[in-house]
Amino acid sequence: MQPFELVIAIMIADLASVPMGDTGIPITNGIIPILALLLIQLVISIINMKSIWGRSIICGLPSILIYRGKIDEKLMKKEKFTINELQERLRQNNVFNIGDVEYAILETSGQLTVIQKPEKRNAIPEDFGITPEYEGIPYDLVIDGKIMYENLKAIGRDYNWLLKEIQKFKIIPEEALVVTYDGKGQIFCQAKEEKK
């Protein structure tokens, strides 16, 4: 959440509570300012999307706290960021040694993005010249006994196919808690617990 979004959310909550707490105040005294705030938020969002300059004013810019393995002390002081806080944020990113960090970027949302030194990063298939198979996204076919016909259609299947596949698990689709179908064609199925 950007700072302006947090401020507007708090102001809306405050404005909504006033007419609710005092029955003598008409509800329109809360609704009109809330609508005005929502309009302001919409205008700010449009400026944020359309203008890079406006975005930098409204949301700020990311700060690089660690650059090429060196901590920027001046920027840390400017951002009111202590070494202990930096170490805590690094641990949240599964980095336990500050010396393993090439870049640490304090995002405008307050999150810390960490890029480790090349020799400290986790290996990925590309490092070994391997190209993994495409996996796609899993589709929910049944949730709590309800069949997701749109998802069946998206994978080019029908109810009869689903019934045949689920019968391998010795249940029918309506008895399933969840059935998913992944990009490799594997089906995960779990039956609902029997009610006692």
The 10s digit of each residue's pLDDT in 91-148 is 999 999 999 999 999 998 889 999 999 888 888 888 888 888 877 888 999 999 999 9
Tell the burial category of 179 from Cβ atoms under 10 Å away from its Cβ (0-12, 13-18, 19+): buried
CATH 1.10.760.10 is right for the domain spanning 139-191: no
The structural domains of the chain, with segments of one domain joined by +, span: 3-59, 63-120, 139-191
Distance CA 142, CA 158 (A): 12
The continuous run of DSSP H or E covering 67 comes out as strand 63-67
The 10s digit of each residue's pLDDT in 21-48 is 777 777 777 788 889 888 988 888 888 8
Average pLDDT of the chain is 87
| Beta bridge partner(s), residue 59 | none
Kindly tell me if the per-residue pLDDT of 185 is higher than 90: no
Q: Please tell me if the domain spanning 63-120 has the same topology as the one spanning 139-191.
A: yes
Instruction: Spell out the alpha helix ranges (H) of the chain.
Output: 3-21, 28-50, 52-59, 73-78, 83-92, 149-154, 159-166
The 10s digit of each residue's pLDDT in 51-90 is 888 887 877 889 999 999 999 999 999 999 899 999 999 9
Tell me which architecture the domain covering 63-120 has in CATH: 2-Layer Sandwich (3.30)
